[in-house]
Amino acid sequence: MVAPLRVGIAGLGTVGAAVVRLIEEQARTLSARSGRGIRVVAVTARSKAKKRTLHLRGIDWVKSPLALANDPRIDCFVELMGGSGEPALSAIEAALKNGKSVVTANKALIAKHGLRLARAAEKHGGALNFEAAVGAAIPVIKTLREGLAGTGVNRVYGILNGTCNYILTRMEQEGLSFAECLKDAQRLGYAEANPSFDVDGHDTAQKLAILASLAFGTKVAQSAVYVEGISSIAPEDLRAADELGYRVKLLGVAVRTPKGIEQRVHPTMVPKSSSIAQVMGVTNAVTIDGEGIPAITLVGPGAGGAATASAVVADIADVARGIRAKPFGRPVDRLRDTKKAPMERHEGGYYIRLMARDLPGTVAKIATRLAKEKISLESVVQRHPEGVDATDAAKKASPVPVILITYATSEDAIHRALEAVQRDKVISGRPQVIRIEKN
Amino acid sequence: MVAPLRVGIAGLGTVGAAVVRLIEEQARTLSARSGRGIRVVAVTARSKAKKRTLHLRGIDWVKSPLALANDPRIDCFVELMGGSGEPALSAIEAALKNGKSVVTANKALIAKHGLRLARAAEKHGGALNFEAAVGAAIPVIKTLREGLAGTGVNRVYGILNGTCNYILTRMEQEGLSFAECLKDAQRLGYAEANPSFDVDGHDTAQKLAILASLAFGTKVAQSAVYVEGISSIAPEDLRAADELGYRVKLLGVAVRTPKGIEQRVHPTMVPKSSSIAQVMGVTNAVTIDGEGIPAITLVGPGAGGAATASAVVADIADVARGIRAKPFGRPVDRLRDTKKAPMERHEGGYYIRLMARDLPGTVAKIATRLAKEKISLESVVQRHPEGVDATDAAKKASPVPVILITYATSEDAIHRALEAVQRDKVISGRPQVIRIEKN
């Protein structure tokens, strides 16, 4: 009988507490599956005095994350404190240098310092597992790292932030504004008091950077990700999308192009018939386009204490079973530098909503500007406000929405054309532009 | 540098040839990911003389699967011949007894002899990997075996047969009959000349038996699976389902109940809003309900040479990396006997379509028979054929469809009630019954 794996947990918030409970409840199953027992022997957290429902009988309290990482009684250091820097970084590094394995749910840290930590893990022989960092219980890291070990990946994209998807779902289904839905999300605990990290796309960008590294064998590089959030999306965009057969989702997309790896986070129109379009509310989903095979989509809870704990415990079980995968799928020395494809050269279809002055020739002027940039239009819809007939509107020259869907073109061309349209003074306000992602 | 993993492949059909090619094309990536090279050193197949586009330079031809399994030059035996018995069984057993690892895509063999082979793998220290046996490139085996190692599973269900889903999708979208769609599926190569194995649900049953074992820690037992195919489904059932907010899918469902593990394959009404209902055409999908966490759904190609080869090569890469998971997640001795929940005691909602004689009191009689069995009705719809008014129809007493949706009740009660209805002679033909699965 192999000795049990001795686990130390730093951080006893919702996830940490759920991990302690799950390891206790599933003790028999875990030992059957891993071939050895798994025991939490020590923990640490910010406040020892804090009231917890969790029983810590038989578990030692250690004074700091670093002390826990250096504690010779543990084999596996589980970091559930969060934060892209200290004290998590030094503690994880110390644990790895001691030859221990590390399990973490910390996407910010892995996106920022993942390479340095992976190098330490490789050098000293421990595992560095972070399944919970992306998509919680959805086994997307394992799928990219092991399940598609022999298959090249052309594109990986997904809904990686439940807050944004919740807001977009409510906006679409109830015709509400972004601000109203954000307030509801905050009330329900789906969004933070400071929602910027989620709604401006940074959370998605960190997760995408990790997935891109695993998918393409490149160095994780959050700075290579182009980021746009969802705050500018209006109910009329969702309505127009619906009529055109699309839904709007905040996607993280990493794709191999002739110009390099494109990594981008932005509101995206996806065909209603695609798997990703069906994903509603706080649910997350990731689609992987492997070379020569149809897409694989993984759907499930992307956050929450129990779902995150499920992934953390699976990672611990892998450590117990003696699995030592390369953290990013390959040795750090074999990871290539990310050749960042410039966003200006992105190619795809675009949705454009303009508030055009309702005067004769306006649409013609707009179309001319687009034609000059060789942008072909799939559809043009000019909407007159309901209940007002064209002549009245024309008289008042009040702006009416014009919605354009383009065939594939470049980001550059779109920018130049829209700048020209603005110079023509035939529209009011800024154009709304949403990229289209086909499956 | 570790010596390369030496692979022998038995079977050079579509999948076998794709595996040989993929290992060659992805050689560098595979060696980076696995920490060692992977080389196909020997192959065998039914006919050496057969013309193949595949180049076998530098690869030895061995005279039989058994000779390959006993060949000391190989470390990993890859079985891609198929069939639930010989020659695959003896060859795999020999390879395992020689301490080699085995990778197979053979669901029939694993469903029938999986335990015996798992025991041999455990005893002699080799791996027995069969990711490709269920859902091809969809990493469902890995997810159940490793990704949810610490999470109890309450239910696993899915669309596991692309042929059936293709037929049901076409029937639904084009209003065609089962026979017409089957013929098309055969023409397109999605269905065999003898389609029974697919359309009668046996293929799904074999895959379900494997998933149930991994999900619940029970011995794989195909004989414990209740099986019903799709040949009795009529376009009018799909039309009625659509109107009621459902789709009909051939599901394999394994669920923990107070009476034991229920394993069943049958046409099933699923709510249109569920992830599984969105899965169209030959695509497969599996949903896993873990304890305390929202459902995880994996969607992708369930068949095809490239998709199957992708999973086979990932399994080989796991062998190269030294991973030796228990084939069914736990040691064979820890797998429990399947306590089969009898189908008569299944509980759920039902869709019932009857051809009722259009006479006064018919619906009342049917409702009374159901009430006697304490079956509550969610809805009753009686349809008069279009263009014929009720009085004319009544005069002719020609049968009209009556569609009932019940609340949760037992299979037993449904059978008793419908037998009584048949004795009343108020319906013609056999009642159509489709179980409803809620998410």
| pLDDT tens digits, A346-405 | 999 999 999 998 788 888 999 999 999 999 999 998 876 655 555 554 555 678 899 999
Please identify which of the residues A207, A219, A249, A396 carries the catalytic annotation. Answer: A207
CA angle centred on A274, ends A270 and A279, rounded to 5°:
85
Is CATH 3.40.50.720 the right assignment for the domain spanning B5-137+307-332? yes
CA-nearest of A133, A125, A81, A118 to A100 is: A125
Measure the CA dihedral A233/A238/A241/A242, to 10°. 170
Q: What is the fold of B345-436?
A: Alpha-Beta Plaits (3.30.70)
Q: Which positions in chain B touch A154 (Cβ < 8 Å)?
A: none
Alpha-carbon separation of residue A276 from A273, A288, B296 (angstroms): 8, 11, 14
Res A14: pLDDT: 93
Contact B274, B439 (CB under 8 A): yes
Strand, helix or coil for residue B324: coil
Residues B253-259 have a mean pLDDT of 94
Strand, helix or coil for residue B226: strand
Q: Which positions in chain A touch B149 (Cβ < 8 Å)?
A: 29-30, 33-34, 313-314, 317-318
Question: Could you tell me the two tokens for A57?
Answer: 């009988």
Residues of B annotated as part of the active site: 207
Q: Is the pLDDT of residue B275 over 90?
A: no
**Does the beta-carbon distance from A142 to B138 stay under 8 Å?**
no
Q: Is the pLDDT of residue B392 over 70?
A: no
B147 secondary structure, DSSP code = I
CA pair distance A257, A203, nearest whole angstrom = 24
Q: Which positions in chain B touch A325 (Cβ < 8 Å)?
A: 321
Amino acid code (one letter) for A436: I
Q: Does B70 touch chain A (CB under 8 A)?
A: no
**Does the beta-carbon distance from A313 to B149 stay under 8 Å?**
yes
| pLDDT tens digits, A102-117 | 999 999 999 999 999 9
Strands B76-79 and B101-104: parallel
**Does the beta-carbon distance from B310 to A290 stay under 8 Å?**
yes
The CATH superfamily holding the domain A140-301 is: Dihydrodipicolinate Reductase; domain 2 (3.30.360.10)
Q: How far is A109 from chain B (nearest CA, A)?
A: 22
A 333-362 residues inside an 8 A Cβ radius of B: 334
Res B273: pLDDT: 85
**Does the beta-carbon distance from B23 to A217 stay under 8 Å?**
no
CA-nearest of B422, B430, B423, B437 to B350 is: B437
Res B397: pLDDT: 60
Q: How far is B14 from chain A (nearest CA, A)?
A: 14
CA-nearest of A52, A267, A89 to A178 is: A267
* Strand-pair partners of B350: B435
Kindly list the strands in the beta sheet with A5-10, ordered across the sheet, starting from the edge strand earlier in the chain. A60-61, A38-44, A5-10, A76-79, A101-104, A128-129
Helix/strand/coil (H, E, C) string of chain A? CCCCEEEEEECCCHHHHHHHHHHHHCHHHHHHHHCCCEEEEEEECCCCCCCCCCCCCCCEECCCHHHHHCCCCCCEEEECCCCCCCCHHHHHHHHHHCCCEEEECCHHHHHHHHHHHHHHHHHHCCCEECHHHCCCCCCHHHHHHHHCCCCCEEEEEEECCHHHHHHHHHHHHHCCCHHHHHHHHHHCCCCCCCCHHHHCCHHHHHHHHHHHHHHHCECCCHHHCEECCCCCCCHHHHHHHHHHCEEEEEEEEEEEECCEEEEEEEEEEEECCCHHHHCCCCEEEEEEEECCCCCEEEEEECCCHHHHHHHHHHHHHHHHCCCCCCCCCCCHHHCECCCECCHHHCEEEEEEEEEEECCCCHHHHHHHHHHHCCCCEEEEEECCCCCCCHHHHHHHCCEEEEEEEECCEEHHHHHHHHHHHHHCCCEEEEEEEEEECCC
Q: Does A29 touch chain B (CB under 8 A)?
A: yes
Res A397: pLDDT: 60
Question: A241 — phi, psi (to 5°)?
Answer: -55, -45
Res A299: pLDDT: 96
Chain B, nearest residue to A289 by Cα: B300
In 3-state terms chain B splits into helix, strand, coil percentages (rounded to 5) of 40, 25, 35
Domain ranges of chain B: 5-137+307-332, 140-301, 345-436
Is CATH 3.30.43.10 the right assignment for the domain spanning A344-436? no
Question: Could you tell me the two tokens for A405?
Answer: 């869907």
Q: Is the pLDDT of residue B248 over 70?
A: yes
Contacting residues for B387 by C-beta, under 8 A, at least 6 apart = none
CA pair distance A346, A344, nearest whole angstrom = 6
Res A234: pLDDT: 96
Residues A247-268 have a mean pLDDT of 96
| pLDDT tens digits, B316-360 | 999 999 988 899 999 999 999 987 888 999 999 999 999 998 788
A 39-68 residues inside an 8 A Cβ radius of B: none
C-alpha of B396 from chain center? 45
CA pair distance B232, B353, nearest whole angstrom = 12
Alpha helices (H) in B98-149, listed in sequence order: 107-124, 140-142
Candidates A296, A297, A330; nearest CB to B33: A330
Q: Does A147 touch chain B (CB under 8 A)?
A: yes
CB pairs under 8 A between A and B: 183
Amino acid code (one letter) for A321: R
Q: What is the average pLDDT value for chain B, to the nearest integer?
A: 93
Q: Does A214 touch chain B (CB under 8 A)?
A: no
Question: Could you tell me the two tokens for A233?
Answer: 């999306």
**Does the beta-carbon distance from A32 to B330 stay under 8 Å?**
yes
Amino acid code (one letter) for B405: I
Contact B265, B227 (CB under 8 A): yes
Res B51: pLDDT: 82
| pLDDT tens digits, B73-97 | 999 999 999 999 999 999 999 999 9
Decide which of B304 and B389 is more confident: B304
| pLDDT tens digits, A259-317 | 899 999 999 999 998 889 999 999 999 999 999 999 999 999 999 999 999 999 999 99
Candidates A138, A283, A310; nearest CB to B150: A310
| Element containing residue B428 per DSSP (H, E) | strand B427-436
| pLDDT tens digits, A400-426 | 899 999 999 999 999 999 999 999 999
B 385-404 residues inside an 8 A Cβ radius of A: none
Q: Does A271 touch chain B (CB under 8 A)?
A: no
The beta strands (E) that lie in B272-376 are given as 283-290, 296-301, 347-357
Strands A377-382 and B5-10: unpaired
Q: Is the pLDDT of residue B234 over 60?
A: yes
CA-nearest of B14, B35, B275 to A298 is: B275
Q: Any catalytic annotation for residue A340?
A: no
Mutate to test the interface with B, among A299, A308, A315 (most CBs of B within 10 A): A299
Q: How many CB atoms are closer than 10 A to CB A379?
A: 10
**Does the beta-carbon distance from B314 to A150 stay under 8 Å?**
yes
Question: Could you tell me the two tokens for A129?
Answer: 């597992």
Strand, helix or coil for residue B283: strand
Chain A, nearest residue to B328 by Cα: A33
> Which of the four pLDDT bands, split at 50, 70 and 90, describes residue B50?
confident
Q: How many CB atoms are closer than 10 A to CB A63?
A: 9
Kindly list the strands in the beta sheet with B101-104, ordered across the sheet, starting from the edge strand earlier in the chain. B60-61, B38-44, B5-10, B76-79, B101-104, B128-129
Contact B171, B234 (CB under 8 A): no
CA-nearest of B245, B280, B273 to B167 is: B280
Strand, helix or coil for residue B260: strand
Is CATH 3.55.30.10 the right assignment for the domain spanning A5-137+307-331? no
Res A359: pLDDT: 81
Candidates B145, B290, B311; nearest CB to A310: B290
- Tell me the HSE value of B7 on the side-chain side, using a 13 A CA sphere: 28
Question: Could you tell me the two tokens for A93?
Answer: 């590094």
Q: How far is A295 from chain B (nearest CA, A)?
A: 6
Q: Is the pLDDT of residue A69 over 90?
A: yes
A 291-310 residues inside an 8 A Cβ radius of B: 292-301, 304, 306-307, 310
Res A274: pLDDT: 86
CA pair distance B231, B163, nearest whole angstrom = 12
Contacting residues for B49 by C-beta, under 8 A, at least 6 apart = none
- Tell me the HSE value of A325 on the side-chain side, using a 13 A CA sphere: 27
Q: Which positions in chain B touch A300 (Cβ < 8 Å)?
A: 293-297
Res A396: pLDDT: 57
| pLDDT tens digits, A145-194 | 999 998 999 999 999 999 999 999 999 999 999 999 999 999 998 888 88
Question: Could you tell me the two tokens for A374?
Answer: 């060789």
**Which residue in this structure is represented by tokens 């469903």?**
B111
**Does the beta-carbon distance from B296 to A217 stay under 8 Å?**
no
**Residues listed for chain A:** 439
Residues A226-241 have a mean pLDDT of 96
Contact A171, A233 (CB under 8 A): yes
Maximal CA-CA distance, chain A: 88
* Strand-pair partners of A155: A255, A289
| pLDDT tens digits, B111-130 | 999 999 999 999 999 999 99
**Does the beta-carbon distance from A317 to B143 stay under 8 Å?**
no
